[in-house]
Chains A and B, each alone.
Chain A
């Protein structure tokens, strides 16, 4: 079953200062199946985040359309959970209040979500921290809190925008394993959400995803779509050699554009 379908999407930004037009995405086609973990990589400026924002319903495409389970995407919906790059936790709410923001905002009676929120707090390993405020947490804990906040709405699709970019290397490895566990990598695809995971790290994409999509820049478009046939659960049988070959393959696709991206920015 198709979870996300993107149909010839283009997005053009007009700079409010110079009036200059920048084509962020051009004629992007993409499908993500139910239960599939898709990673998107590409040099900076390739429109990765723009694509994710369109699927989240925060941005509107200039042309083309996006569908979620065959319904056109017209705006944000709790059905499509988003994990933001810098967490975007509400600084004035405690861990518990942040996690329960979604159910409360949708007007779900508290008797229905109290237990689920408790469960999520322990699933992401924040038991005992539920009354803390975001600024009192470490980077990794903030990311766990943001993950739990997304999960509290029980979304059918996870949209993750470089979720691990701001945490240190050790925390990142731990969180990668946790994300796969909570996603349910040992479950049949019908029982787990579809994931769209944006990252700068090619090794991270290969390690986590079923498919890696490489975007090119100027204009942003799909350059390559690679299937990652590694065994799951990934962290139990890691095949560093096979991973290395795949990483090298993808890097070969990106290298030239990444270099010109650095020179231009």
Chain B
């Protein structure tokens, strides 16, 4: 049994009380949601915090999927399993179900949360790529109930680093809903439940004439953080969906991504996958947008 260093534990009773604790304890404290990334790091003593604030009691408050006008809002404590099983979410953004099917395993999915995944800010994180693809924005609440909304690009400051400051908490993620959209996600992993070698998400919105009104691609595990690729969006907008177009997008993905050789694969292979998976997910996203 791997045992963490000593720490103190507090159960949160409300979002504002949790923020109050964070404010008081500063950087020695850490929120724990699903805990599937944090606790292994603590057990390996790669991460040591004096205080853990358990926000699982906030699931009632922050576990939800809500449709608003032109927007879908998901609470930060919504668990992977809820994202996987939500038909409403799958209808609006099939990319979520694609991704959730390949995230870890049922035990992790029962416990892990959307907010925890984003705040862990692992460059290989699947839901970060999904949120980037869907042009999501993150609602961060601070002391006194002050809220600010940041884009995914702003949210990810670097590997394992986010825009969430001391005394702040990610409480909600918002997804713009547009007509005639389709989305898809694909991941290459060495084994079920492994982190991605590379994964790609694509979302496409079609105009009335069948051309691409807008498109976004998000990649994971090929750079310091999951990022959208504006050059791909520009290359796709206004064009008729076609294999040549996907190939062009794939070529851009392979060129602009920034992978490194590691145990999961060589840099070359990852660039190739960025290309291959971009093409595959675009193809599926367009099919879904059409149907």
A and B associate: no
